[in-house]
Amino acid sequence: MKNAVSMMLAFSLLLCSYSGSLSANKNPKVSVNEPDEFPVPKNIPGLLFYIQRDPNANTIIYHLNLDDQGQLSRKNPVDAFWIRYTDGGERRDLNYLQRKFAYGINSKSIGNSTYELRSVAYSKMPLYLRKDSKNEYHVYANINKKECILSRVFIRIDGGTFWSPNVLYIELKGTETATGKTVVQRIKPV
């Protein structure tokens, strides 16, 4: 599991476009020590989870994909987009490469309003979109061997290059379904 998560998120980094935020911002590096110091996305309808990473605070949002009647899209139940904090909090769609090779999500209905989700970057790690007891959708993941509602993925990078970033750790954060406690797992790539 640790290797799967590390490989999926490290590969996602390789294909992420940094150029827009780096050229628009003279000091794109966020002065933070811990992931909890990054901005938390607010007022996002249908927010499921988000990914943040160095070298800046720009955030990839995963949210429910609803049709014009407010119904979940059965073909594509989860959609992703950027919040470009380095550009004043502007919302931007993922570009083609990001959608197809890095941050996109493939989904498959497995019945009972439940969907298996697979990252396009690493399809071996399943996530599950399903309703809770209040009939609300969440994305479920295994964090520290506990079933959790996934809220955030953070990737700490210290240098390297665009094609080979130096990933120090990947942090998964969620809420354990059995206890309601926050669960955090830091994974160091091998």
Q: Is residue 3 within a helix (H) or strand (E), and if so which, with residue range?
A: helix 2-15
| Contact (CB, 8 A) for 2 and 187 | yes
HSE-up (13 A, CA, CB side) for residue 15: 19
What average pLDDT does the segment 137-157 reach? 94
| Contact (CB, 8 A) for 4 and 90 | no
Rounded CA-CA distance 42/10 in Å is 26
Select the more confidently predicted residue: 62 or 6: 62
HSE-up (13 A, CA, CB side) for residue 59: 25
pLDDT of residue 6: 40
Select the more confidently predicted residue: 116 or 163: 116
Helix (H, G, I), strand (E, B) or coil at 86: helix
Handedness of CA 97, 52, 42, 77 (dihedral sign): positive
Q: What is the pLDDT of residues 27-82, one digit of tens each?
A: 444 444 588 889 999 999 999 999 998 878 999 999 999 999 989 999 999 999 99
pTM of the model: 0.81
